[in-house]
Each structure stands twice: as structure tokens, then as C-alpha cells.
């Protein structure tokens, strides 16, 4: 991901310069999301809601990343995962939703916080992700390396 230049306006509010091409790609992606939901459910209202929600999430993540820093989108996604897990778990604490949702949300929060705290960007990963071994063992090693990345930054 690319950090966008942030200018300070005369009133000390940040003004984010997001390139037009990236905004267009987010709109196209939200249309694809809406078309997919419409194809699966045949409900125009659900498709429009999903497309709008995706567009708001994508633009919100881009703005958070531009204003706060790289990996701020992980913080936002982690908070949304935890919020959605809490909302789904209150009426019926279903463990197949509660446990994975909590784990994913907490990992995204820790990952985003640690990368922001130590100032490491996606471009300058401390350990490049490469695998030694066959297709299965190599992919598992890369996956475990990425999962343990936020905890490596703290140590």
C-alpha cells in the first residue's frame, strides 16, 4: 500500500490527497461486490447495501491509512471484527462465530497496533516471506511467520 500525502489546512485539519485512480478502483470493487451479492441473493436492496457498506469500509480504511499511518486499516478491521462478533454473540453466543471472530479481531488489532507503534511499513518488512521446502510445508512456514509477525515486533 502507498501512503498518501497529508497536508495540513490553515485550520489544522488534515487534508488527505487520495489519487483519483484509487478512488475509481474502490468504486469498481464495490460494484463487483454488489453484483456478486445480487447474483447470489437476487435482492437489489441487499446488493446495494453490501456495495455501499464495502465502499464506506474501503474509503474509511484508505483515509485511516493516510491520516494515521500504514496498518491503520488493520486496526479498523480488527475493531469491526470485534464489534460484529459482539453483536452476533449477544443474542446467541454461538461458539463457531464467537471464538474465530474474537481471535481474528484481536490479531488484526495487535498487528495494526504493533506495526504503527514500531513504524514498520509493508514495504520494509523485517523478514521477507519466503519458504524453504515443498509447497505444503513452505506455505505453512510463511503463514506462521506472518501470524507471529506482530509478536516478533514487540520482542
Summarize pLDDT for 1-52 with one digit per residue, the tens.
445 555 545 555 555 555 556 778 889 999 999 999 999 988 999 999 999 9
Structural domain contains residue 73: no
Burial 122-154 (b: 16+ CB within 10 A, else e): eeeeeeeeeeeeeeeeeeeeeeebeeebbeebe
Q: What is the pLDDT of residues 38-97, one digit of tens each?
A: 999 889 999 999 999 999 999 888 888 888 888 888 899 999 999 999 988 888 778 888
Judge whether 60 lies within some domain: yes
Rounded CA-CA distance 76/67 in Å is 13
Question: Residue with C-alpha cell 469491526?
Answer: 80
Predicted local confidence at residue 139, as pLDDT: 77
**Structural domain contains residue 7:** yes
Do the domain assignments include residue 38? yes
Is residue 154 over pLDDT 50?
yes
Does some domain include residue 39? yes
Q: Is residue 21 part of a domain?
A: yes
Residues 6+ apart with CB under 8 A from 46: 37, 38
Decide if 52 is inside a domain.
yes
Domain of residue 55: give its range: 1-67
pLDDT in tens, 108-136: 999 888 888 888 777 776 556 566 667 77
Residue 139: inside a domain: no
**How many structural domains is the chain composed of?**
1
Amino acid at each position: 500500500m502507498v501512503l498518501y500525502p497529508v497536508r495540513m489546512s490553515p485550520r489544522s485539519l488534515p487534508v488527505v490527497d487520495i489519487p483519483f485512480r484509487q478512488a475509481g478502483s474502490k468504486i469498481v470493487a464495490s460494484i463487483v461486490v454488489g453484483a456478486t451479492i445480487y447474483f447470489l441473493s437476487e435482492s437489489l436492496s441487499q446488493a446495494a447495501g453490501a456495495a455501499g457498506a464495502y465502499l464506506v469500509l474501503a474509503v474509511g480504511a484508505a483515509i485511516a491509512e493516510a491520516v494515521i499511518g500504514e496498518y491503520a486499516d488493520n486496526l479498523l478491521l480488527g475493531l469491526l471484527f470485534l464489534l460484529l462478533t459482539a453483536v452476533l454473540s449477544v443474542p446467541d453466543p454461538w461458539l463457531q462465530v464467537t471464538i474465530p471472530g474474537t481471535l481474528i479481531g484481536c490479531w488484526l488489532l495487535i498487528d495494526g497496533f504493533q506495526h504503527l507503534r514500531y513504524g514498520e511499513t509493508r514495504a520494509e518488512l523485517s523478514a521477507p516471506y519466503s519458504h524453504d521446502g515443498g509447497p505444503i510445508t513452505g506455505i505453512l512456514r510463511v503463514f506462521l511467520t506472518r501470524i507471529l509477525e506482530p509478536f516478533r515486533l514487540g520482542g
